[in-house]
Structure 1
Amino acid sequence: MITFKMKLSYGLGALGKDYACAIVYIFLMYYFTDVLGIVPAFIGSLFLVARVWDAVNDPIMGMIVDNTRSRWGKFRPWILIGTLLNSITLIGLFYRPNGISTNTLYMYISVMYILWGMTYTVMDIPFWAMIPSFSNDKHEREQIAVVPRVFAAIAWLTLGSFGLKIVQRIGNGNEGQGFTVLAIVIAIFFVITSILTFFYVKEQIVSDVKAPKVSLKETFMLITKNDQLVIFIVIVLIYNLMAQLAIGVAIYYFKYVVGNENMFAVFTGFSGLAKVIALMLFPVLSSKLGRQKVFFMACSMPVIGYFMLFLSGLFIPENAVMVAISGIIGEAGSGLSLGITTVMLADIVDYGEYKFGTRNESVIFSAQTFLVKAASAIGGLMIGVGLSLVGYVPNVEQSAETITGIRVLMIGIPMALSVLEYLVYRKYYKLNNKYYDDIVSELEQKRVAEI
């Protein structure tokens, strides 16, 4: 029985977790370039190197979680441990030690960023891997999966809308100090919400088909041999790359292209609200229209929204209404994508059990954690290298070439990626309708026979 207290605790866990994530994905590039004065190309390279390492340690963490046996289950101990470690590195990431030289600063942020990614993995993989253990029913899963996504979207909404203003106020005009204090507050809140998750969110269903102890080699085989997981990886990598590019460039776009930094808060505020509403509507839309039509909506709406943003940027750049409408349409699609991909991954766990005979939830869900960070790295590399190539210089008026380059990064590439995402889904993803229903039916029959 999934109680209200359990849903609320799981949602609050996502709220704290995504505050700790959002401050990095929204503001870290800006903090490094405009506050610390780090060269953008170096930052992009750092993001890429960190994600290469994650390609190894994320599946390893999934293997460790799946091999865990404890009185608290296999997920909750790592959620709590990862939260404590990640909170420490988050504070370190937004803290500049006094009297540090330039070379030492580059080394310091490199170490802290890699550690942040590793510790986030420890917590994030088991957090999402719990979803298949809550219910076997497809529609109930859709309702449950939306809860943490809605709370997570609230974190991105509030931090995107008010983050810079909060930094300015608590830092008394000193952005470096403001980011440090904000990171400390978020870390404390993160720990509190994860404690609630640890005590009140528990596995409801444990399959009779228990995952055996798996080796690292078997872990990578489980990923590469699951054809639907491979397709999912491609789809979600494209989606996250689109999302990370847009959010990463947005602050530069509104500050230097539009010429009004306040439009950043308008865009992120209304787009974040639209994402929350779209997530809440996802179970209803999925039930009435089917997932395939919902996925088409999820991919087409960002194309429409960003095209509107492009037109408004050319003719009425400081029109808050057009900026808000563009963000609403674009991020409503993003919200639907978040809802449907979360459920898709839970379905892929069933598909893995059907095909290989084992439920390796954490190994499979490790793909999601890696994909978010991989997209952040590729997006960060594209932003960092892209800004350097088009001649970006912090805190000065930008050239026409630089403004055009920022437009391409913010609008052109995300639109193309959204189209590509749908084409891949339509051609290769097959866990829909009767095929998936037959898989679930066969698994239930096997479980009954084993009792």
Structure 2
Amino acid sequence: MSKNLSSNVATQDLNHQTIIVHKKGKLSFSTKLSYGFGDFASQLLWSFSGSYLTIFYTDVVGITPALVALIMLIARIWDGINDPMLGFLADRTKSKHGRFRPYILYGTPFLALFSVLAFTAPGFGGNMEAKVAWAMFTYIGLGMLYTIVNLPYGSLAAVMSKDSGERTALSSFRMLFTNLGSVLLSVISMPLILLFSSGTGDQITARGYTMTAIVLAVIAIPLFYLVFFKCKEVVQPIHNKKISIKESFRAVLTSRSLTCIFFILLISLTAFFGRMGVQIYYYMYVIKRMDLIAVFMPLPAIGAAIGIMLFTRFAKNFGKKNMLYVSYTLAALSLIFLYFVDYNNIPLLIISTFIFGLTQFGIPIVMAMIPDAIDEMEDKNDVRVDGTAYAATSLSTKFASAIGGAGTVALLGVFGYVANAEQTAEAMNGINIVVNIAPAILFLLAIIPTKLYGLTEEKAAEIRQRLDEK
């Protein structure tokens, strides 16, 4: 059954329970730009915690690496319950703003608040149990609120346009601004921390972290609201029958393509987040150049931004899988090389770190696979659950952040790391292994689920055509 709606054409298929509104022309540049700003804002909040919260806990609050690892693992266990439920809820949300945008509107202020609270260090009279409890409360709260805002934000890419090319463009803009946000974060974070610490030399205080978190939150809030106002939902599902939680989860869990994407993201981002969370230890205790942290920290993100602009375009001609093979193989080789570079050879360390960043063009390619997998799921099961599907991939990102963060900080303890002290030769080599060799191995392992992913560009186009015809 079809019906003309002014300049739009709506195609309704009761079997697929979906209305798709086809707009004339493509998404505007300003819309894509606004969408990209959403992940720029996310980096200022979530990646700041990913880069600095571990060292804040160990070196400022005084929590042991083992307890930090436990906090992160508990938070991710809770995410295993929280994230799918939010996705299920978002799929069934009905409002004048759509299914996903209301969460960005109302969740942003609370996300900003907890991004600051996570970097506060109440004394509690020296009671370590109270400090750990506060860290767990604020970190779990931060993770939940990040899901409330970022999961709907990610889901927008699948409903802002039905065109595969436009979806890929949205993913590219998102990942480009992800890395631009990381660049800004890397450049300004440590100088701001030192500035607000009100100390001399390399002295860092809790106040330095707290005030920096406030500055980043103030920048992030209007960027999230720009996404809310500019990014509209075009693909809208209408359910003629109630879809249960069981049906939603079955559709997602039985999707081979989504399962492969889950493990691709889990493994590759565990490598990425794990390295990101401990690289500062490498610069502080191995290279021993606090003055160069603002140089080293943004290099991977700068390289990734350039790599995305240069290499993601080839996915159309050579295929997404082939480009992922290239990305992960080169990433592993660059890190193995970096492990053997002499600690005092600063120019070669800088060049090698930048080259590693160039290899990170695979992330937007994986993200562009998700809408195709959602279309495949709808074609097969007559159910479209964008939020639940994105919850699964969001969960993989959360797990990767936790495993990478907890695993690497636990390994530091195994290798003999001692906070605020001169490290032994064994500890320094251990830090080098954790920062370079461990993620290199994971990048190579990410090739396995990539190989198992079977949804080619041709097959995705055929599915999209069938859905459009129905």
TM range (shorter): over 0.9
In the TM superposition, what are the counterparts of 1:69-84 in structure 2 within 5 Å?
Answer: 69-84=94-109
Whichever structure has more helix as a proportion of its residues is 1
1:209-252, CA deviations, whole angstroms, 9 ceiling, x for partnerless residues? Answer: 65965433334323211111111111110011000111112111
- Within a 5 Å distance, the mapping from 1:87-126 to structure 2 comes to 87-100=112-125, 101-126=127-152
Report the CA distance shift for 1:98/1:395 in structure 2 as closer, same or farther (over 3 A).
closer
CA contact (8 A) 1:44 1:385 kept: yes
Stretch of structure 1 that moved more, 267-276 or 46-55: 267-276
Query: Would you say the 8 A contact 1:132–1:346 is kept in 2?
Result: yes
AA of the residue aligned to 2:437 = G
| 1:282 Cα deviation from its structure 2 partner | 4.2
Counterpart code for 1:424: P
1:253 maps onto 2:282 in alignment: yes
Question: In the alignment, residue 60 of structure 2 is paired with which amino acid?
Answer: V
Alpha-carbon spacing, 1:362–1:211, altered in 2? closer, same or farther (3 Å)? farther
Q: Determine the structure 2 residue equivalent to 1:298.
A: 327
Map 1:289-368 → 2, pairs under 5 A: 289-312=318-341, 315=342, 317-334=343-360, 336-368=361-393
Secondary structure of residue in 1 paired with 2:446: helix
Q: Which residue does the alignment assign to 1:281?
A: 310
Gaps of 5+ in 2: 1-25
Separation of aligned partners in 1, 2:316 and 2:255:
27
Q: TM-score, normalised by structure 2?
A: 0.89
CA distance in structure 1 between the aligned counterparts of 2:281 and 2:198, rounded to whole angstroms: 22
Question: Is the Cα contact below 8 Å between 1:141 and 1:343 reproduced in 2?
Answer: yes
Structure 1 equivalent of residue 183 of structure 2: 157
The equivalences for 1:20-39 within 5 A come to 20-39=45-64
Report the equivalent of 2:454. Answer: 430
Hey, what's the Cα distance between the residues in 1 that align with 2:95 and 2:328?
41
Give me the whole-angstrom Cα distance separating, in 1, the residues matched to 2:408 and 2:322: 32
Show CA shifts across 1:141-179 (max 9, x none).
211211122112111112123311221012222431111
Match of 1:184 among 211, 214, 222: 214
Instruction: Provide the C-alpha distance between the structure 1 equivalents of 2:266 and 2:327, rounded to a whole number of angstroms.
Output: 15
Partner of 2:439: 414
- 8 A contact 1:161–1:266 mirrored in 2: yes
Q: How many residues align?
A: 440
For residues 432-451 of structure 1, the aligned pairs below 5 Å read 432-446=456-470
Q: Distance in 2 between matches of 1:210 and 1:431?
A: 27
Q: Report the Cα distance in structure 2 between the residues aligned to 1:258 and 1:337, rounded to whole angstroms.
A: 29
Residue by residue over 1:306-362, the C-alpha shift from the partner in whole angstroms, topping out at 9 and shown as x without a partner, is 1221121xx3x233321222222212222x121111101111111111111121111
- Are positions 1:387 and 2:412 aligned together? yes
Letter of the 2:111 partner, please give it.
N
Q: CA deviation at 1:405?
A: 1.9
2:259 matched to 1:230? yes
Structure 1: 5+ residue stretches without partners: 447-451
Residue 5 (1) aligns with residue 35 (2): no
By how many angstroms is 1:293 displaced?
2.4
Give, in angstroms, the shift of residue 78 of structure 1. Answer: 0.5
Once residues 351 and 364 of structure 2 are traced to their aligned partners in structure 1, the CA distance between those partners, rounded to angstroms, is 21
Aligned-residue offset at 1:277:
1.4
Aligned residue number for residue 299 of structure 2? 270
Q: Distance in 1 between matches of 2:277 and 2:254?
A: 33
Q: Deviations over 1:50-104 (max 9, x none)?
A: 1011001100000010000110001110112221221111111111235543221
- Is 1:13–1:197's contact at 8 Å kept on the other side of the alignment? yes
**In the aligned structure 1, how far is the partner of 2:192 from the partner of 2:314?**
36
State how far apart, in whole Å, the 2-side matches of 1:330 and 1:311 are.
14
Separation (CA, whole Å) in 1 of partners of 2:465 and 2:309? 28
Cα offset, 1:302, TM superposition: 0.9
Distance (Å, rounded) in 2 between the aligned partners of 1:424 and 1:3: 34
CA distance in 2, matches of 1:160, 1:75: 30
CA RMSD of aligned residues (A): 1.8
Q: Is the 8 Å Cα contact of residues 25 and 376 (structure 1) preserved in structure 2? A: yes
Residue 51 (structure 1) aligned with residue 51 (structure 2): no
Q: Which amino acid aligns with 2:212?
A: L
- Alpha-carbon separation, structure 2, partners of 1:25 and 1:106: 18
Q: Distance in 1 between matches of 2:149 and 2:206?
A: 27
Aligned sequence identity (%):
28
Query: Residue 187 of structure 1: CA displacement?
Result: 1.6
- Following the alignment from structure 1 to structure 2, what is the Cα–Cα distance between the partners of residues 297 and 162? 32
Q: Give the Cα separation in 2 of the matches to 1:277 and 1:399.
A: 37
CA distance in 2, matches of 1:36, 1:180: 12
TM-score by length of 1: 0.93
Distance 1:214 1:97 in 2: 46
Aligned match of 1:449: none
- Residues 104 and 268 of structure 1, relative CA distance in 2, 3 Å threshold: same
Decide which moves more: 37-46 or 187-196.
187-196
Find the counterpart in structure 2 of residue 375 from structure 1: 400
Contact 1:67 1:214 in 2 (8 A): no
- Give the corresponding residue for 1:198: 228
- Single out whichever of 99-108 and 213-222 deviates more from structure 2: 213-222
C-alpha distance after superposition, 1:270-326 (max 9, x if no partner): 2211111122234422234332321122111211221221121xx3x2333212222
- Cα distance in structure 2, aligned partners of 1:8 and 1:213: 36
**More displaced, 183-192 or 243-252?**
183-192
